[in-house]
Amino acid sequence: MEVIEQLAIAEQTEAQIDTAREGYRPCSQRAAILFFVLNDLGLIDPMYQFALDAYIDLFNLSIEKSPRSPKLEERILHLNDYHTYCVYRYTCRGLFERHKLLFSFHICLKILEAAGKLNQEEYNFFLRGGVVLDQENQMDNPCSTWLSDQSWDHISELDKLANFHGLVTSFEQYARDWNLWYTSAEPETSQLPGEWDNTTNEFQRMLIVRSLRPDRVSFCATGFIVNNLGSRFVEPPVLEMKQVLEDSTTRTPLIFVLSPGVDPTSSLLVLAENCGMAKKFNCLSLGQGQAPIATRLIREGVREGNWVFLANCHLALSWMPMLEKLVENLATDEPHAEFRLWLSSSPNAAFPISILQAGIKITTEPPKGIRANMKRLYHLIKVSPD
C-alpha cells in the first residue's frame, strides 16, 4: 500500500513538473530563435561563430539575472526581454558596425515570424525583390520620365501579392502624388498616395520603400526595430574592455577581429596597466619563425599567470592547428587564475572555428555616427581622483 501511495505521489509530482515546464515553453522558443539567428551570422563573416555551450551559459545567466514575478506571464515576458537584449549586447561587441543593424533587424523579423505576425510572401519579396519574367504582359511604366525600369519591375511584382493588388494602377491615377513621395527627403515618413497610407502596415510600407527608394531602407529598418523591440536595439553598447575581461575565464580566448588601420595593442596595454598586469603582459606579432616563441609564451602564461597577446594570427595560418590544440588543452589543464590569452586576426575563413566558438570576439572598429562616437569618447575619459 505504501509503495502505491509513493507511486501516486511521484506521478503527481511528475505531472506538476511537466505543467511547469510547458508553461515556460515560450522562453525555450525565444532562446532557440536567437541561437539560430546567431548561427546565421556565420553566413555574413567567417569570424562570426558561436558555440551552443556558451549560448546555454548565457541563457542560464539570463534566468538568474532577469526580474522575478509570481505571475508566470510576467516572468516569461521579463525573461524573454532580458535574454533578447543580453544576446544583442553580448554579440554586438564582436560584430563590425556595418552588421549591427542587420543583426537587430534579423532578430526582430525572426521573432515576428515565430509569432505569426510576418507574411511569408512579403518577407520573401523584401529579401529578393521582384523580377518580371513575363515582360510582354507587363503594364507599361506610366511614370517612365522619373521612375526607372528596375523600380517599375519591383512595383509590378509587388502588385501580385495579396495586400498590394491595385498598386500598379495607382501609379496611373496618382502619378503626381507618387512623384512627390518618390522625391521627398524622407519617403519612409511621408504619406503614401491614395488609399495606400491607410491600408499598409509598417513592414508593407518598407516593401514600397525597398522598391522605389532602396537608399532609405536602412532608415525604415531602424524605425521598424525601434517600434518592435525598442530603441536600445539600434544603439549598440559602448565596448567596455574591463567588462569583457570580467566575462572571460582562463579557458576563454579573447579575440580581436581586426579592421583596416586599427590596432588594439594600445588599449590592451592600458587595460593591463589598470589591472596591474603590465609586468606580466607578453605581446608577440605572429609571422615567419614566431610559432615556437608563441607556443612557449602560452605555456609559460598558463603556468605563471601571464597575459599573452598573439597579434595578427592571419599571418600564421599554418600554425593555427597547433594554437587550436593549445586552446583545447586549456579545458583540461588548470591554468593560473590570472592567465588570459588574447588574439587578433583579420577576418579569415581558415581561422579555426573551435577557437572562435570558445572565445569572446571583439571588433576594433570605431562606432558609426556622432552620438555613438561621443559616447565612446566620454567612456574613454579617465577621471582623475581629487
The answer to whether residues 79 and 186 belong to one domain is no
Q: Quick check: is 386 in a domain?
A: no
Q: Can you give the pLDDT at residue 158?
A: 97
The answer to whether residues 255 and 364 belong to one domain is yes
Domain C-terminal end among 115, 139, 174 = 115
Number of domains observed in the structure of the chain: 3
The answer to whether residues 214 and 278 belong to one domain is no
Domain C-terminal end among 58, 81, 115 = 115
**Can you give the CATH number for the domain in which 55 is found?**
1.10.8.1220
Q: Quick check: is 122 in a domain?
A: no
Q: Can you give the pLDDT at residue 369?
A: 57
Q: Quick check: is 368 in a domain?
A: yes
Q: Quick check: is 123 in a domain?
A: no
The answer to whether residues 149 and 254 belong to one domain is no
Q: Can you give the pLDDT at residue 132?
A: 84
Question: Whole-model pTM?
Answer: 0.87
The answer to whether residues 361 and 270 belong to one domain is yes
The answer to whether residues 355 and 285 belong to one domain is yes
Confidence band (pLDDT; 50, 70, 90) for 385?
very low
In this prediction, residues 214-228 reach a mean pLDDT of: 97
The answer to whether residues 80 and 136 belong to one domain is no
Q: Quick check: is 13 in a domain?
A: yes
Q: Can you give the pLDDT at residue 10?
A: 76
The answer to whether residues 288 and 354 belong to one domain is yes
Mean pLDDT of the chain: 91
Q: Quick check: is 121 in a domain?
A: no
Span 229-280, pLDDT tens digits: 999 999 998 888 999 999 999 999 999 999 888 899 999 999 999 999 999 9
Span 91-125, pLDDT tens digits: 999 999 999 999 999 999 999 999 999 999 999 99
Residue 190's φ and ψ, nearest 5 degrees, are -85, 155
Q: Torsion angle, CA of 57/66/99/230, rounded to 10 degrees? A: 170
Span 127-159, pLDDT tens digits: 999 888 888 888 999 999 999 999 999 999 999
The answer to whether residues 218 and 253 belong to one domain is no
Provide the residue range defining the domain that includes 91: 1-115
Q: Quick check: is 137 in a domain?
A: yes
Q: Can you give the pLDDT at residue 51?
A: 93
pLDDT at 327 over 90: yes
Span 360-384, pLDDT tens digits: 999 988 766 556 555 555 554 543 3
